[in-house]
Every structure is written in structure tokens, then in C-alpha cells.
Amino acid sequence: MKKTIFLAVAILSLAIIGCEKTTTKYVAVDYPPAAPQGVYSITGDQTVYLFWSPVREADLAGYRVYWSSNDTDFYLLGTVGANSEEYIDHDVQNGTTYFYAVAAFDENNNESELSHESVYDTPRPEGTNLLLADANNFPNSSGYDFSSGLIVPWDDPNADIYIDYYSTNGIFYLDAANTSTDLQDMGYTSSFDDITYSPSSGWSSVGWTELILGHTYVIWTSDDHYAKLRVTAISAPNTVRFDWGYQTATGNPELARPQHDDNYLRREIKGIIIK
């Protein structure tokens, strides 16, 4: 809670009968609120979602959200009330990075410093209900090219990933379509937005991983882009349904690519060992 500080001001009166009298007057100083903390963003499709922790001030009036293209020169983006700790920025372009900061202000329009966190976000396209089919029985509908947003054959040169079903164990697999694409199972997520950044380690050493309902998977494509898939439905033995997101900004985030041995991508499709 903000404290009102009183400054003691000594006032020297006129001399009366050879004596001096000193009195004290207290002047209220209204300090601005504390800067918001815990500011973070969630990446959307032509949208950035901003959140922060509430500022506990008795006379808090609201928050002002600022944006920058370079993390230095910030401009007012919008204002929300004291009971709101979020802001949605729809005025953004996919593949462009934006920086954000938040300030609090009180009923006398005293404004805090900008939040101290370095918050930046690069919105990217996303979609739902991507339906891919088993490569063994539906080869032309099993692969996906993130850059074009098209379903392609599993062996198409533009394919980033494909899926296949193993009847012997009743399991679908997510496969890298080439030796320069990497995969990682991020585990169960309650929503598509739970995974906001690509990891820096933990990539599959074999180029394939089991598909599990509710799991989110991160893909690092051969042309240095990042994507994610979340499994929303499995209809064995034919299809798997996904939510998807694809980062159009090259190398965002920028990570060191892992090395692969000779057995990477060695899988059997229709009885043929492929690599």
C-alpha cells in the first residue's frame, strides 16, 4: 500500500519581544505507484496477449501499456482500469518482434516507472483441426509443409513432418521428414498456449516420437523455423488431429542445431527401410 509522506517545514516567525518562535507545518507528498511486476506475454496469431501482477495501491486508477520496436523508445499503446491485469494487442504483424512495458498510475495521474522485465513477442500464424493420415495407407495425406500451410505426401521434398501408424503396437508416430528437421515431445499440456518457446535441448535423437493425446510437440524445420503441434484427437488406425502454430520469423528463437548419427530417421514404411 502506498504511503503518504509528510515533510516537516520549519517556519521562522517574526521576533516578538526579543524571542523567536519556530512552528512546524506538515505538507503531504503524493508519490506515484510502484512499477508493475511479473509482466509476460503469450504469442498469438496476429495477436499478443500481455499479463502482469496487480499493483496494491489504495488510490490506483489503472495501467498504461507501452510498446517499442527496439526495446528503447516506448510509445503509449493503451490504458486499462485498476481491476485489469491484462491487455491484448491486435495491431501487430506476424513475424515482427514487438517489445512491451507496463506502468501504473493513480487517481492524481501520478505514473510509475515502466516495468523492469524485458518482454518481447513475435506473433505467428496458427490453426486448428489439422487432420493428417497414416503414411502407410494414405501417403498423400500424411505430411505437412508448415511454410505453405499445405498437407503433402510424406515423401514430398517440402514436407517438414509426417505421421504413420504401427498396427503391431497400435501407436501413431510423428516423424521428421528429413535429416535437418528436429522434433521434441513437450509432454501433456492443458492448452495450446502452454508451450510458448522452443526448448534449447532435448531434441529427439532418432527423428520420431510417439503421438499421445493432449501432448504438444515442437518442430525445428530444416529452413530454421519453429513450429508446434498439439494432438487434439486420435482416430486409430487412420488419422490424428492437431492444433498448430508456425513461427514465420527465421531463427526465432535462435538455437544451436543438434547433431545426428547415421541411424537418424531410419524407419520402415511399407516394409522398406528409408532414411
Pick 74 or 269 by higher pLDDT: 74
Average pLDDT, the chain: 86
Q: Say what the pLDDT of residue 150 is.
A: 98
Structural domains in the chain, CATH included, are 40-121 (2.60.40.10), 126-274 (no CATH)
Q: What is the pLDDT of residues 89-103, one digit of tens each?
A: 999 999 999 999 999
Q: What is the pLDDT of residues 51-109, one digit of tens each?
A: 999 999 999 999 999 999 999 999 999 999 999 999 999 999 999 999 999 999 999 99
Cα–Cα distance, 169 to 183 (Å, whole number): 21
DSSP lists the bridge partners of residue 243 as 230
Q: Say what the pLDDT of residue 195 is.
A: 87
* Weakest-pLDDT range from 9-13, 42-46, 141-145: 9-13
pTM, two decimals, is 0.76
Given a contact cutoff of 8 angstroms between Cβ atoms, the answer to whether 158 and 145 are in contact is yes
Q: Say what the pLDDT of residue 6 is.
A: 39
Of 10, 53, 58, nearest to 31 by C-alpha is 58
Three-state SS string over the chain comes to CCCCEEEEEEEECCCECCECCEEEEEEEECCCCCCCCCCEEEECCCCEEEECCCCCCCCEEEEEEEEECCCCCCEEEEEEECCCCEEEECCCCCCCCEEEEEEEEECCCCECCCCCCCEEECCCCEEEEEEEECCCCCHHHCEEECCCCEEECCCCCCCCEEEEEECCCCEEEEEECCCCCEEEEEEECCCHHHCCCCCCCCCCCCCEEECCCCEEEEEECCCCCEEEEEEEEEECCCEEEEEEEECCCCCCCCCCCCCCCCCCCCEEECCEEEC
Pick 22 or 200 by higher pLDDT: 200
Q: Say what the pLDDT of residue 194 is.
A: 87
Instruction: Check pLDDT > 80 for residue 1.
Output: no
Instruction: Check pLDDT > 70 for residue 260.
Output: no
Q: How many CA atoms lie within 13 A of 121 on its CB side?
A: 28
Q: What is the pLDDT of residues 168-183, one digit of tens each?
A: 999 999 999 999 999 9
